[in-house]
Structure 1
Amino acid sequence: MGRSEQAISSFSDAVIFWFRQNFGKIILLIVVAVCAALISKIVAAAMRRALERTNLPSASIFVNIVRALIWIFAAATVLQPVFGINPSTVVAALGVSGLALSFGLKDTIANIVGGFGLMVSKVVQPGDIITIQGTTGTVRDVTWRHTIVIDRTGNQLLIPNSILNTTALEKITEAGEAATTVPFTLRGDADIARSSHSIAQVVAQATKGMAMPSNPPIVQLQGFTPYGIKGQVVMFAKQGVIAADMQDAATRALAGQEYLVQEAELPSVKGVDQAN
Structure 2
Amino acid sequence: MNEMHMLDSKGAIGKAEVSLIATSVYAMLIVVIPVILLTLFVAWKYRASNKSATYAPKWAHSTGIEVAIWTIPTLIILFLGVLTWKTTHELDPYKPIESNVKPINVEVVALDWKWLFVYPDLGIATVNQVAFPVGTPVNFKITSDAVMNSFFIPQLGGQIYAMAGMQTRLHLIADHAGDFAGISANYSGTGFSDMKFRALAMSQGEFDAWVKNVKSSPDNLSMDVYAGVARPSEKAPVKYFSTVDPKLFNNIVAKYNDGKFDVNGANCATKW
Global fold match (TM > 0.5): no
Which structure exhibits the higher relative contact order, with contacts defined as CA atoms closer than 8 Å and separated by 6 or more residues?
A: 2
Provide the TM-score with structure 1 as the length reference: 0.26
Q: Which has the higher helix share?
A: 1
Whichever of the two has the greater Rg, that structure is 1
Provide the TM-score with structure 2 as the length reference: 0.26
